[in-house]
Amino acid sequence: MANLILVRHGESLWNGKGLWTGWTDISLDDQGKNQARLSGESIKKLNIAVDIVYTSTLKRARETFYEIKNILKLNVLTFENSALNERNYGIYTGKSKWEIEKEVGEEQFHKIRRGWDISIENGESLKDVYERVIPYYQTEILPKLKSGKNILIVAHGNSLRALVKYLDNISNEDVENLEIATGEVYLYSLDEQGAMVSKQIITSNC
């Protein structure tokens, strides 16, 4: 039996302004740092020894892990990989989500934000994100879980949505309804074949 802990980074400076961030390397704001610390406290209460950590290469994920690391007093193997980076929002990067919603309408806005294979000019769909996250998970992370290692992944809304879609076997249609809040913690218990035994979602109040 192994445990997989997923954490979405805390609120970034652009999250707080309602801007699409994507691959832009933006730091956490003060609330985001507090969310990260609360995530760390939530993980601490689980009383699970973390053996290995994976983060994206973007600073908001790395800064979130820094706060968690201090809470848990971790000194473990840590890997950064761009496969876990946020979705590339292409032409929408840096633009106000709410201004775009006014331009395209609520229905199309929801599809752009949450849809499975909705393309963005010069950017990625969730399907594109899935096609880089899942091979990395299968080749680099899953074997360690199968060997009994407890793993923490600190990443982003869409890279984690892709992974949760895979772990929970969510359909392409239903994944539109999946949203992971900043600072939210998912705990999966997995058997020796890497199949899910149980799942818990922990939302920290900030």
The residues that are catalytic are 9, 86
C-alpha distances in angstroms, 25 versus 12, 22, 78, 114? 10, 8, 19, 21
φ/ψ (deg, to 5) at 36: -65, -40
**Is the separation of the CB atoms in 66 and 166 below 8 Å?**
no
- 């080749």: which residue's tokens? 139
Identify the burial level of 147 via C-beta atoms within 10 angstroms of its C-beta, where 0-12 means exposed, 13-18 middle and 19 or more buried. exposed
